Amino acid sequence: MAASVRTRIAPAPSGSIHVGNARTALYNWLFARGQGGVFVLRVEDTDQSRVSEESYQAVLEDMRWLGLAWDEGPEAGGEFGPYRQSLRSDRYDAAALSLVDAGHAYRCYCTPAELAERRKAARGSQAAPGYDGRCRDLTERQRRDFDAEGRSWSLRFRVPEGRTITFDDVIRGTIATPSSQIPDFVIKRSDGSPTYMLAAGIDDALMAITHIIRGEDLIAATPRQLLLREAMAIEDVPVFAHLPLLVQPDGKPLSKRWGDVSLGAYRKGGFLPEAMVNYLALLGWSYDDRTNIFTVDELIDRFSLERVARNPAAFDVAKLEWVNGHYIRSRSPAALAADLEPVCVEAGLPAGTVEGRRILTAVAPLLAERMKRLTEAPPMLRFLFGRAAPDDKAAAVLTGQGAYLTAVAERLDAIEKWTAPAIEESLRGLAAERGLKPKHAFQPIRAAVTGTLVSPPLFESLEILGRTETIERLREAPTA
């Protein structure tokens, strides 16, 4: 059983992957890995109006970033390729032709305007919603007349009457749909391109997918695709598991109006891939009520579809930040410095040099406890890469502090060994002599040296900055 498991993720490349699709990809990947099966990446790029090479590459990069290596798919190959639907039109054409020849599909000549008008009229009557079957039983002469007019046509699947289509869902139990609730649906558009129903349904069969794990918004597609399989005499029926949708913390649907919904936005927003994988795994699945942190190996070992909930899962950025903070704190200084380098370079800091990497490695342990996102680092680190004018709060603290900062500079210049403990001892001694509380003693120093009141721990920061630069900044700080 385990060796025969085949799952897939089939994103449409219209940009960075939606976080909901990322969660779906993760669940498919975890299930395949846990069962010793095969994980397939198939790109559904038949809608050329939405697809570009850039968006296609973005999908691959998102998957790589998450660490979800695919066994079959673009660049990996496989016996069921190609794995881009735009390269599989011959399969869809052959399937559509066979359905027409067997009487399971027919040409529909209805124009978009006619369909819209009839739908509008149906809303005010007792008619069933959806296509009204106008072209279902056209005579040969009627078809010739439409062809003579030059009307374009689409292909519709002829839904059998008086049937109930039933399937078992691992998460939701048995789902039964009367065929009377399924209008004849389009399988090929008037431009000849296949619809999702046909392309995904045929590809799942041709690629021998055993488990279809996807969002609950596609439950309605399942009876349609089962009818397609039946009409094409495809006997194997996959196992279905329809995942709960992701929603906002207030329960409303996750949408761009709420905030970031693409994986790329969170990548740029300073989140680590391990944190994203860990958090996505918890959106609809749980192992127990106490554990929130899982390694990838633990997720593979413990994940099961039976533990996936039916209820919508709330995407809470605050919880994601908590998980991200855990992984930031668990990083080694070298690893965290490597994570920070591209973020700092993107922010305009020269962090990609030998000296820049030295600074990042030295300061990484100081930042780990202060960050929930990597993007919080550049503002706190900017002072280590060059001088900047004090911000408004720092400028206010510096006012009238010229004599004190001169005394600080003289005290620090007298330190024999420039280390954080020696710097701390010297500055605390000066504060005690002058009867200053830590806030009043150290804030002016921080403002003069960093240009802000928010930075890594002061004494360690001064050690990294160095004796010469620290003293020069103290003496040259604008205090008037």
Quick check: 66 and 33 in contact, CB under 8 A?
A: no
State which amino acid sits at residue 224: R
Tokens matching residue 384: 């280590």
Closest CA to 239 of 426, 61, 432, 4: 4
Cα 337 from Cα 390, distance rounded (Å): 26
Element (H, E) at 296: helix 296-302
Write out the DSSP string of 228-275: HHHHTT-----EEEEEPPEE-TTSSBP-TTTS--BHHHHHHTT--HHH
Tokens matching residue 191: 């431009």
Cα 238 from Cα 217, distance rounded (Å): 18
Give the number of C-alpha atoms closer than 13 A to the C-alpha of residue 442, restricted to the C-beta side: 21
Cα 364 from Cα 350, distance rounded (Å): 16
Cα 462 from Cα 467, distance rounded (Å): 7
3-class secondary-structure state, position 224: helix
Tokens matching residue 42: 């198939």
Cα 136 from Cα 173, distance rounded (Å): 34
Closest CA to 102 of 155, 37, 44: 155
3-class secondary-structure state, position 167: strand
Write out the DSSP string of 375-393: GGHHHHHGGGSS-----HH
Cα angle 367, 371, 373 (rounded to 5 degrees) comes to 125
Expressed in angstroms, the distance from the first to the final Cα of the chain is 78
Cα 325 from Cα 317, distance rounded (Å): 12
Report the length, in residues, of the chain. Answer: 480
Backbone angles phi and psi of 105, in degrees to 5: -145, 155
**319 belongs to the catalytic site:** no
Sign of CA dihedral 234, 198, 31, 29: positive
Closest CA to 34 of 274, 319, 294, 311: 294
Of 256, 372, 417, 437, the catalytic one is 256
- Give the residue numbers annotated as catalytic, written as ranges: 256
